[in-house]
Structure 1
Amino acid sequence: MTQRRRTSIILILGAMTALSPFSIDMYLPGFPAIARDLQTTVPQVALSLSTFFIGISAGQLLYGPLLDRFGRKKPLYAGMSLFILTSIGCMTAQSIDWLIALRFLQAVGSCVAGVAAVAMVRDLFPVEENAKVFALLMLVLGLSPLLAPTIGGYVTAAFGWQSVFIILAIMGALLLLATRYGLPNGYQPDTSLSLKPRPILANFLAVLREPQFSTYAFAGGMSFAGLFAYVADSPLVFMDIFKVSGQVYGWIFAGLSVGLIGASQLNGLLLRHYRSEQLVFAALCSQVTITLIFLLLTSLGWIGLTGTLILLFAFLACLGISNPNNGALSLAPFTKNAGSASALMGATQMGLGALASFCVSVLNNHTAIPMVSIMASTSLVALLILLVGRRNIRNKATKSAASIQDPIAL
C-alpha cells in the first residue's frame, strides 16, 4: 500500500479509538454544572462515568463475536448509530438517573469503534508492525485528552454542558461516514462462527487459555486501571481541592496528557533497540516506584499542586510505554479470533477501569488519597501478574513469518 493510504487508514483507526475517550474527557469540566442543573453532587455525577466504563466493558464482549461473524463494518454501523442517538438523549436528560442510564447505552454504542480499530490493526498490518501502529494510534488517541477537556471547559462555560453532547453526536456522524468510505475490508466474515452463548463463551475461554494473552492483557488492564482512577477523581482533585476553574482544569488535563502521548511516540524509537517484553517490564517497575512515592507524599501532606502534576505526568508516561506493547503482545498469537481477543482485552481493561473509578467515588473523602492509593495498588498488582504469568509463556508470538503478506496489498 502507498504511504498516503497507510496514513489515511491509521488516522481513521486512531479517530475510532479516540471516540470513547473523547466521550469521557469532554464532559469532565462540566461536572459541577451538571451537578447544579440536575440537583445532585459531583460524586453522583462521577457515577455516570463509572457506568460509561461498565458499558464499554460489556459492549466489547458483545461486539467481539459480532465482528468475527459479520465482518468489521456492519457492527460498526449499528454501534455508531446507537452512539449518535444516545448522545442526543444525554443532552435532554432531566435527572442524574437518566443521565447515568443513557451514558451506559452511549458507551455500548461507542465501544464498537475501539474494538474494531484494534482488530483491524491485526487485519491490515503485519504482526511485526502492530506495536508501531498501536503507538501511532495512541498519537491520534492523544488528541482526546489534549483537546476534549479544554474544548469541553470552554463550551460548557459558553453554551452549557448539554452542548458537549451535541458535539459528540456530530463527531459520531462524521466518523460513521469515514468508516463507510475510508476503510478497506481486510477481513472476511467467518460464517462458521456461532452466536449462541455456549460457543461464544468457548471462544473467549480459548483466548483466555493462551498464556501470552492472559499475562499481557491482565497486566495491561491492571496497570491501565490507575488511569481510570485518575480520570474519575481529577475533577474533584483539581477543581475542588486545588480550586482551579473548569477552563484551567482542561489545560491541566491536556498538559498531563503530553506525558502519555510523548512516551507512546518514544516507544516507537525504543522498539528499534529493545523488545516489547523488556519495555513492558521496565515501564511497570517505574510505574510502581512512582505511585508508591506519590502515595507516601500525599499521605504525609508533603505535596501540593506542582508535585501532584509532576508525579501524574511521570505515571502517564509509564503508561505510554507499556500500553501499546501490552496490546501488541496480547494480540500477537491470534489471527482467526483477533476480534474476540481484541474485545476481551478491551473488556478486561475497561472492566478493571470501571471498578477503579467506582472505588474512587465510593472512597471519596475530599482528598487525593483514594485516587493515589488505587493507582499504586493496581500498578503493583500489574507487575505481579507480569512476573508470574510470563513464566508460563512457552512459544512467544512477537512477529509474523516472512511469508505473511500485507492484506491491504492483496
Structure 2
Amino acid sequence: MMKQLVEKTRPDSVAGQETLPGDLMSNRQRVQLVLVLGAMIAIGPLTIDMYLPALPAITAGLQTTETAVQLTLTGTLLGLALGQLLVGPLSDVIGRRVPLLAGLALHIAASVLCVFAPTIGVLGVLRVLQGLGVAAATVVATAIVRDLFSGASFARIFSRLMLVMGLAPILAPTLGSGLLRWTEWRGVFAALAVLGALLIVVAALRLPETLPVVRRRHGGVGATMRDYRRLLNDRAFVGLVLVAGLAMAALFAYVSGSSFVLQEQYGLDEQQFGLAFGAGAVGLIAATQFNVRLLRRYTPQQILISALIGGTAAGLLLVMFATTGLGGLGTLLASLWLVLAAAGLALPNAPALAMTRHSEAAGTAAALLGAVQFGIGALSAPLVGLFGTGSVPMAIVIAGGMAAATLVMLLVVPRADLGVVDPDLAVALH
C-alpha cells in the first residue's frame, strides 16, 4: 500500500500547502514506516556501540593497547561521516533505494570480515568500511521522511526517529554484554552481519522508491557543490548542525570511555556494565517524553537552550565528582544520567530545527547534519583516550562538548531567524 501511495501521489499545491504521499497514509502505515526507518537508523548506533563491553577483551585478544582499540571506534565514526557526505547528494540524484541497499550490503560484508580480523589494524580498516555502509541507512532514512512528509507531519515523524537515534547508542552495549555471555567478542560482529542481512531484506521488500525522477537533482558535481554552499551559507542551519554535533560528541565521549571507567576503574563485570550503561537510557527516555509536555508551552529553541545550559551544569558536576571521588560510583552515574537527560532534549530539537529549513535538498542536508554529528563524535573518542582511560578525562570531554554546544547556540545561531519554523515545530516536534 505504501508503494502505491508513493507511485500515485505527486506533490502539488492545495491552498498554498504542499501535499506529499505521506499525507495520505493511515496511522497504521505511518507506524509501519517509523518501525522500518527506525530499524535502518538503529543499525548505525548498534554497529558503533554493541562491541563496547568487549573493548578490554579485544585489547587482550589482539595484544594491543587501549588507545588503539578506541581508534577502531573513531574509524567507524569517520566512515559514517564520510559516507553520509557521499550518499546524501547521490541519493538526491539517483533515488533512495540503490544507495540504501548497496550500503547495507557493504555493512554485511565488512561485519563478516571483522569476525576473522587477525590484527587491530585490519579490524580498524574494516570498522571504517562498516561505517561507510551504515551511513547509507542513516542518511537515506532521514531523506525518506522529507520525501513523504512536510510541515507538522514531517516534524512528528522525524522526532520519532531522533528518539531511536538517541536510544540506540545507550541500549546497544546492553545488547552486546548479553551476547558476550554466550560468545566472545567476534560473535558481536557475527550478530551485526545477521542484523544487516535482515535489514536488507526488509528494505528490499518494504521500502519503495520515495524520490520520483521528476524531483531528483540534476547538474552533477557542480549542483552538489552549490547545494553544500547554500547550506553552509545559512548561519542558523550551520549553528544548529554544530550544536547537534557537539551534543553528540558529549554522548560519544561517554560511549567510548565508559567501558574502561566502569569495568577497570570501578570493577564492574561485562553484565554489570551493560546494566549500568543501559540504565542511562531511563534519563534519555524520560527527557524525550517530557519534551512533549514542554512543547505545549515553550518553543523548540527555548527548550534547546535550557537543555544545553542544564547539560553544561551537569557536566561540571561530573567533572567535580570524577576529580574528587566524592560519593563514589553513585554520584558519577547520577551526574552522567543528568547529562544524558539534557541530550535527550537537545538531540531531537536541534536536528529538527535544522532539517526543516531545507526541504529542496533533503538528502544533502541530512548528509551534512549526520556527517558533522558523527565527525565531531569521532574526535571526542580519541580525546578521551589521549588523556587517559580514567573518569576525569571522560568527564572533561563530556562537559566540554555540552559547554561548546551551549556557546554555539547562544552566540552563533540567530534566534530571530528560527521563528520561520516555529509554528509547525512548536505543536508537533514530537
Q: Which residue of 1 aligns with 2:356?
A: 332
Give the SS at the match of 2:182: helix
Q: Deviations over 1:370-391 (max 9, x none)?
A: 1111111121111111112233
Contact 2:321/2:332 (8 A) holds in 1: no
Matching of residue 109 in structure 1 with residue 109 in structure 2: no
Alpha carbons of structure 1 residues 75 and 135: separation in structure 2 relative to 1, 3 Å: same
2:347 to 299, 302, 323: 323
Equivalent residues of 1:50, 1:358 under 8 A apart: yes
**Displacement after TM superposition at 1:35 (Å):** 1.5
Listed one character per residue, the Cα deviations across residues 143-187 of structure 1 (whole Å, up to 9, x for unaligned) are: 634643223223223221111111111111111122222224332
Q: Does structure 1 residue 347 correspond to structure 2 residue 374?
A: no
Report the counterpart of residue 407 of structure 1 in structure 2: none
Tell me how far 1:130 sits from its aligned partner: 3.5
Question: What residue is the counterpart of 2:274 in the other structure?
Answer: 250
**Offset of 1:139 from its aligned partner?**
4.1
TM score, norm. by length of structure 2 = 0.88
* Cross-structure match for 1:369: 392
Cα deviation per residue 1:11-49 (whole Å; 9 max; x = unaligned)? Answer: 111111111101122111111221222111233211100
Question: Which of the residues 262, 278, 288 maps onto 2:302?
Answer: 278
Q: What residue is the counterpart of 2:380 in the other structure?
A: 356
The answer to whether the aligner puts 1:307 opposite 2:331 as a matched pair is yes
Q: Provide the residue aligned with 1:97 in structure 2.
A: 121
- Within 1, Cα distance between the matches of 2:293 and 2:90? 36
Identity, % of aligned positions: 37
Aligned to 1:61: 85
Shift of 1:235: 0.8
In structure 2, C-alpha distance between the alignment counterparts of 1:315 and 1:155, rounded to whole Å: 27
Matched with 1:16 is 40
Deviation at 1:69, TM superposition (A): 0.6
Match in the other structure for 2:261? 237
Contact (CA 8 Å) 1:135, 1:268: kept in 2 or not?
no
What SS class does the counterpart of residue 394 from structure 1 fall into? helix
**What is the identity, as a one-letter code, of the residue corresponding to 2:284?**
L
Task: Provide the C-alpha distance between the structure 2 equivalents of 1:21 and 1:283, rounded to a whole number of angstroms.
Answer: 22
Match of 2:7 in 1: none
Distance 1:188 1:16, change over 3 A: same
Q: Distance in 2 between matches of 1:367 and 1:223?
A: 21
8 A Cα contact 2:171 2:277, kept in partner: no
Cα distance in 1 between the residues matched to 2:309 and 2:76: 30
* 1:347-390 C-alpha deviation (Å, 9 max, x unpaired): 011111001111111111x4211111111112111111111223
- Give the 3 Å change call, closer, same or farther, for CA 131–316 of structure 1 in structure 2: farther
Task: Please list, as runs of the form range in 1=range in 2, the aligned pairs for 1:260-299 lying within 5 A after superposition.
Answer: 260-299=284-323
Q: Which one of 7, 16, 32 corresponds to residue 56 of structure 2?
A: 32
Work out the CA distance in 2 between the residues paired with 1:140 and 1:349: 15
Q: Secondary structure at the match of 1:157?
A: coil
Q: Matches of residues 370-389 of structure 1 in structure 2 within 5 Å?
A: 370-389=393-412
RMSD: 1.9
115-124 or 336-345: bigger deviation: 115-124
Question: How many residues were matched structurally?
Answer: 399
Report how far residue 400 of structure 1 moved. 8.0
2:79–2:132 contact (8 Å) kept in structure 1: yes
Matched-pair contact (CA < 8 Å) for 1:139–1:265: no
* Equivalent residues in 2 for 1:154-173, closer than 5 Å: 154-173=178-197
1:326-366 deviation line (CA, Å, top 9, x unaligned): 111001111121110000011011111001111111111x4
Q: How far apart in 2 are the matches of 1:331 and 1:150?
A: 31
Question: Who is 2:159 aligned against?
Answer: 135
Question: Kindly tell me: are residues 132 and 164 of structure 1, through their superposed partners in 2, closer, same or farther at Cα, counting changes over 3 Å?
Answer: same
Name the CA distance, whole Å, in 2 between partners of 1:395 and 1:132. Answer: 18
TM-score (norm 1): 0.92
Instruction: Using the TM superposition, give the Cα deviation of residue 88 of structure 1 relative to its aligned residue in structure 2, in angstroms.
Output: 0.2
Match of 1:4 in 2: 28
User: Is the Cα contact below 8 Å between 1:280 and 1:325 reproduced in 2?
Assistant: yes
The equivalent position to 1:76 in structure 2, one of 100, 113, 116, is: 100
Between 123-132 and 278-287, report the one with greater CA deviation.
Answer: 123-132
When residues 393 and 56 of structure 1 are mapped into structure 2, their CA distance, relative to the original with a 3 A threshold, is: farther
Amino acid at match of 1:387: L
Q: Helix, strand or coil for the counterpart of 1:272?
A: coil
Q: What is aligned with 2:8?
A: none
Number of the residue aligned with 1:194 = 219
Q: Cα distance 1:400–1:267, how it changes in 2: closer, same or farther (>3 A)?
A: closer
Letter paired with 1:73: R
**Preserved CA contact (<8 Å) 2:312 2:402:** yes
Mapped to 2, the partners of 1:144 and 1:43 lie a distance apart of 24
Q: How big is the shift at 1:112?
A: 1.0
Distance change (3 Å), C-alpha of 1:357 and 1:303: farther
Answering whether residue 411 of structure 2 is matched by residue 398 of structure 1, we say no
| Counterparts of 2:248 and 2:87, CA distance in 1 | 21
Partners of 1:148 and 1:114 in 2: CA distance: 16
Q: CA deviation at 1:268?
A: 2.5
Among 242, 259, 262, the alignment partner of 1:218 is: 242
Matched residue of 1:94: which SS? coil
Question: What SS does the aligned partner of 2:333 have?
Answer: helix
Tell me how far apart the structure 2 counterparts of residues 134 and 374 of structure 1 sit (CA, whole Å). Answer: 28
Query: Is residue 57–residue 351 contact of structure 1 (8 Å, CA) maintained in 2?
Result: yes
